[in-house]
């Protein structure tokens, strides 16, 4: 496919466009001073100081369309997406609480079997929550608590000019039926490798190898990088040909896919190989795909052509950038 078509696909991808409402919601929250809050909006999890470490707090709700298509996978992913939010920041997941709203008991049972399967696979318990047994809809939402060393957190808003951009993805996966943008890499694997993959970002944080990072979520790998750059107030160039990719998968589909195990990282060039090696040890492909710059534009390179994907002086994905969200700044 040509580069202009790929840019159009990414910009119009619902995984990207639906993020725009975030800044509208944030605008309703009063800016309450809290010295213990080290970071909030724009991060995969809020960071709250606690003694000599930090607590990481996040929550995620599963899209209604996914729950309708596959309630079991919806329950399973409700756990997985929360785990990824904690580990993306270099954290260790501790426990979760869930909110289950049910209209159809059969749908609820499938959702909870999915939650059960994920909890068993990853070993992070659900310790409470809330049940609505009399709703006019079905929904599953989960909140998660994690922890990390205070100086070991991997933030989204701290990319530096000159950083390498690394994308890491587990290429051994599949797209479940009726879910063309959900690359599943965990359900068919054993718990041991899944848990080891979760802990790589924790090791990267402990070794202080990364300047910033984010898990690859609904916007896909390039869209997720866009969110990181927007929050950091930076730009970058990305060579599409260098993005890890499995054989036999459509390029546009892959670029826009949610990754069961996938991360975008920026780091000093001298740290890139160490990060790539850590991912390789757990069978995750990682590669340097670009470079951070001061342009506030995300530019893609493919087939000897360049195209601007986002200009963050006029475009927004989430609207969470340092100049607009004071509480984001540490």
Residue 294: count other Cβ atoms within 10 Å of its Cβ: 11
- Can you give the pLDDT at residue 321? 67
List phi, psi (to 5°) of 13: -65, 125
Angle at 57 between CA 55 and CA 58, to 5 degrees: 155
Instruction: Using alpha carbons, list the distances in angstroms from residue 228 to 82, 117, 212, 215, 255.
Output: 18, 31, 8, 10, 16
Q: Beta strand pairing status for 285-293 and 164-169?
A: antiparallel
Q: What is the pLDDT of residues 133-183, one digit of tens each?
A: 999 999 999 999 999 999 999 999 999 999 999 999 999 999 999 999 999
Closest to 267 measured CA to CA, from 203, 196, 208: 208
CA 79, CA 245: separation in Å to the nearest integer? 25
Q: Tell me what pLDDT residue 194 has.
A: 97
Residue 323 phi/psi, 5-degree rounding, is: -75, -20
Pairing of the two strands 182-183 and 258-259: parallel
At 31 the pLDDT is 73
Decide if 240 contacts 254 (C-beta within 8 A).
no
241-263: pLDDT as tens digits: 999 999 999 999 999 999 999 99
Answer whether residue 269 shows pLDDT above 80: yes
- As a dihedral over the C-alpha atoms of residue 158, residue 19, residue 199, residue 270, rounded to 10 degrees, the angle is -30
Q: How high is the pLDDT of residue 186?
A: 97
28-58 per-residue burial string, b: 16 or more CB within 10 A, e: under 16: eeeeeeeeebbbbbbbbbbbbeeeebbbbbb
Buried b (16+ CB within 10 A) or exposed e, 197-217: bbebbbbbbeeebbbbbbbbb
| Number of neighbouring beta carbons within 10 Å of residue 304 | 6
Position of tokens 């939650």? 115
The 3-state secondary structure of 146-164, one letter per residue? EEEECCCCCCCCCCCCCCE
> What is the predicted pLDDT for the residue at 324?
55
Q: Which helix (H) or strand (E) holds 228?
A: helix 220-232
CB atoms within 10 A of CB 168: 29
Q: What distance in Å separates the CA atoms of residue 43 and residue 58, rounded to the nearest whole number?
A: 9
Residues of the chain with CATH 3.90.650.10: 3-18+154-328
Nearest to 238 by CA among 167, 188, 187, 320: 167
User: Which tens digit of pLDDT belongs to each residue from 39-97?
Assistant: 888 899 999 999 999 999 999 999 999 999 999 999 999 999 999 999 999 999 999 99
pLDDT band at residue 224 under the 50/70/90 scheme = very high
pLDDT of 328? 46
Q: In this predicted model, what pLDDT tens digit does every residue of 275-330 receive, in sequence order?
A: 999 999 999 999 999 999 999 999 999 999 999 999 999 999 998 866 655 444 43
Phi, psi of 230, deg, nearest 5: -60, -45
Residues of the chain with CATH 3.30.1330.10: 33-149
* Residue 16 · residue 219 · CB < 8 Å: yes
Mean of the per-residue pLDDT values for the chain? 94
Name the class of domain 3-18+154-328: alpha beta
Superfamily of domain 33-149: PurM-like, N-terminal domain (3.30.1330.10)
């Amino acid at each position: 496919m040509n580069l202009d078509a790929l840019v159009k696909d990414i910009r119009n991808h619902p995984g990207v466009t639906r993020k725009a409402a975030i800044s509208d919601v944030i605008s309703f929250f009063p800016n309450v001073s809290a010295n213990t809050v080290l970071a909030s909006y724009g991060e995969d999890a809020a960071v709250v100081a606690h003694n000599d470490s930090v607590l990481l707090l996040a929550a995620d709700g599963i899209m209604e369309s996914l729950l309708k298509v596959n309630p079991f996978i919806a329950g399973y992913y409700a756990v997985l997406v929360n785990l990824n939010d904690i580990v993306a920041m270099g954290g260790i997941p501790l426990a979760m609480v869930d909110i289950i709203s049910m209209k159809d008991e059969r749908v609820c049972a499938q959702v909870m079997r999915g939650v059960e399967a994920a909890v068993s696979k990853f070993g992070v318990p659900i310790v409470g929550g809330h049940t609505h047994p009399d709703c006019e809809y079905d929904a599953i939402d989960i909140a998660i608590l994690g922890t990390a060393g205070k100086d070991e957190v991997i933030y989204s808003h701290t990319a530096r000019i000159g950083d390498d951009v690394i994308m890491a993805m587990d290429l051994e996966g599949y797209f479940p039926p009726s879910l063309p943008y959900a690359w599943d890499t965990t359900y068919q694997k054993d718990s041991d490798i899944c848990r080891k993959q979760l802990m790589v970002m924790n090791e990267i944080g402990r070794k202080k190898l990364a300047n910033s990072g984010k898990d690859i979520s609904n916007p896909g790998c390039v869209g997720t990088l866009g969110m990181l750059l927007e929050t950091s107030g930076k730009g970058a160039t990305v060579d599409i040909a260098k993005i890890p990719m499995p054989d036999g998968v459509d390029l546009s589909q892959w670029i826009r896919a949610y990754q069961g195990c996938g991360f975008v990282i920026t780091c000093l060039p001298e740290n890139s190989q160490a990060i790539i090696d850590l991912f390789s040890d757990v069978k995750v492909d990682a590669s340097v795909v670009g470079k951070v710059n001061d342009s506030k534009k995300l530019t893609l390179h493919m087939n000897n052509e360049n195209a601007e994907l986002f200009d963050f002086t006029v475009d927004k994905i989430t609207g969470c950038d340092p100049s607009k969200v004071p509480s984001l700044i540490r």
